Amino acid sequence: MPFKLSTAPYLHQANSVAEMMRQVLYALIPGIAMYVWFFGWGIVIHILLTSMTALSCEATLLWLRDRPLRPFLTDNSALVTAWLLGSALPPFAPWWLSVLGTAFALIFAKHLYGGLGYNPFNPAIVGYAMLLISFPSEMMKWPHLASLSGHYPSIVESMSIIFTGQPLGGITLDALSSATPLNTMKTQLNKFHTVTEIKQNPIFSYYGAKGWEWIGSTFFLGGVWLIYKRVITWHIPVAVVGSLFLIASLFFTIDSDRYPSPFFHLFGGGSVMIGAFFIATDPVSAATSNTGKLIYGIGIGILIYIIRTWGGYPDGVAFSVLLMNIAAPLIDYYTQPRVFGH
């Protein structure tokens, strides 16, 4: 029997950075399509804006840093940042919000730290958090669901609102906009209304919020696709979703008129599924060992609930991920696997 010998390297990794990032873009498509179905074409326009801004900033910064353009521009990492940020913006937000948030993410959260692989924070979530803190009015102004408003905005109408702030056909922006279900729930709870009373509003559904439960579900399916393709592991998403579900169940059991159900926390918006599967799993800024990933994900889930319930913001995914990004090096330090033989 012949014994074959070969020279190093002995292992071949089929996945490249570009291929992994491409899979992430594929996984985002169903959720984006569902956004378009319920809110119109505004999100596509913003994704185009964030993509053009991201590629322009990436090329400029690589040139300033004297780095080769082609390998970094074609690794798709800038496009993933652009698509994630574009998916989180209100569909009728002004155009400069997309440009400003993307440029901030690429410059301050990526290249000032040395580029891809050196960023301690997820660039997309840094850009989103900056916009949320600096421009809360624009970031909170979401449109009504097309099925509730009785008006489905066309591409031309969406472009008119985004680039000029002037809707067409005599319909004002205020008539098309409303608070998100998460924002409505938090505001009404602070006015001492019960959850049962608040959910009489037609924007809510039996277990989540109308339209949003489908958006959240499609992002969930996209995340499952990433696990199936081994782009991410199950540890962080399961820890985020599981811990949020458990802590929400505990308080819901204590007082269901004061604390919304765990399903509302998961499907009252699309942010939890995007955060759990697409943002918290960033291999650069997240914890690395399996035990560390579970701790990191549980921390995010608990922080989301704390910020939503007792904090100043109706959501909390962005700040929870950023806070746990800060804690990731410490988690890695205490959860390093033992070296074989020691």
Please write the tens of the pLDDT for every residue from 160-186.
889 987 765 666 666 667 778 898 999
- Model confidence over 188-199: pLDDT tens digits? 999 999 999 999
Residue with tokens 């185009």: 48
Please tell me the predicted confidence (pLDDT) of residue 51: 96
Q: Average pLDDT for residues 232-260, to the nearest whole number?
A: 96
Residue with tokens 């992002």: 219
Please tell me the predicted confidence (pLDDT) of residue 231: 93
Q: Is the pLDDT of residue 6 over 70?
A: no
Please tell me the predicted confidence (pLDDT) of residue 169: 61
Residue with tokens 């199950």: 234
Please tell me the predicted confidence (pLDDT) of residue 160: 86
List the Cα angle 326/106/115 in 5-degree steps: 70
Q: Average pLDDT for residues 255-277, to the nearest whole number?
A: 93
Distances in Å between the Cα of 183 and the Cα atoms of 5, 190, 308 are 64, 11, 9
Please tell me the predicted confidence (pLDDT) of residue 260: 94
List the Cα angle 80/84/90 in 5-degree steps: 150
Whole-structure pTM value: 0.90
Q: Average pLDDT for residues 54-69, to the nearest whole number?
A: 92
For residue 203, give the 3-state DSSP assignment. coil
Please tell me the predicted confidence (pLDDT) of residue 7: 63
Please tell me the predicted confidence (pLDDT) of residue 308: 94
Please tell me the predicted confidence (pLDDT) of residue 215: 93
Residue with tokens 């700040």: 319
Distances in Å between the Cα of 204 and the Cα atoms of 57, 89, 199, 207, 258 are 40, 21, 6, 8, 16
- Model confidence over 84-112: pLDDT tens digits? 999 999 998 999 999 999 999 999 999 99
What is the C-alpha separation between 56 and 14, in angstroms, rounded?
29
Averaged pLDDT score across all residues of the chain: 89
For residue 330, give the 3-state DSSP assignment. helix
Q: Is the pLDDT of residue 325 over 70?
A: yes
**147 pLDDT band (50/70/90 cuts)?**
low
CA 285 remoteness from chain centre: 14
Q: Average pLDDT for residues 121-149, to the nearest whole number?
A: 86
Please tell me the predicted confidence (pLDDT) of residue 53: 96
**34 pLDDT band (50/70/90 cuts)?**
very high
Please tell me the predicted confidence (pLDDT) of residue 5: 60
**For a pLDDT cut of 70, what percent of the chain falls above it?**
90
Please tell me the predicted confidence (pLDDT) of residue 171: 61
Q: Average pLDDT for residues 147-151, to the nearest whole number?
A: 65
Q: Is the pLDDT of residue 342 over 90?
A: no
* Percent helix, percent strand, percent coil in the chain, to nearest 5: 65, 0, 35
Please tell me the predicted confidence (pLDDT) of residue 17: 87
Q: Is the pLDDT of residue 1 over 60?
A: no
